[in-house]
Amino acid sequence: MSTVRLGSGGPWEDVVGYSRVVVVGDQAWVSGCTATVDGEVVHPGDVGAQARVAFSVLVRSLESAGFRAADVVRTRMYVTDTSRWEEVGRVHGEVFGAVRPATAMIGVASLLHPDMLVEVEADAVRGAS
């Protein structure tokens, strides 16, 4: 079984040595996605807007690998302020409410850039829907 590794061209992939999506057979793993657009963090201070961008990046990444949001079986959300969990959770529900993947929301002290408030990951299995 072959492994396909897809990059996003993001500024940290070469430095850290990771791929945006790794596909093996009918399974895909999406690395952490944030609200970074063209190398800049967008919507500083607005965790809901950042979550919307991050999940958009995640879904586009899956689609570039031949998967759909409906194939997602697990998500993870990392938030720097757990008191704002509901803003992130609502966006997750907009994207995955009908899919209902296993999930976790984890409070973290910080992310890679001080303006980043949320980072999301996903695992998918083609045809899981």
Sequential DSSP letters for the chain? --EEEE----TTHHHHT--SEEEETTEEEEEEE-SEETTEE-STT-HHHHHHHHHHHHHHHHHHTT--GGGEEEEEEEES-GGGHHHHHHHHHHHHTTT--EEEEEE-S--SSTT--EEEEEEEETT--
The fraction of the chain above a pLDDT of 70, given in percent, is: 98
Q: Please give the Cα distance from 66 to 25 (Å, whole number).
A: 11
Domain 3-125: give its CATH architecture.
2-Layer Sandwich (3.30)
Q: Please give the Cα distance from 12 to 23 (Å, whole number).
A: 20
What pTM does this model have? 0.93
- In this structure, the chain runs to a length of 129
What confidence tens digit (pLDDT) does each residue in 13-38 have?
Answer: 777 777 889 999 999 999 999 999 98
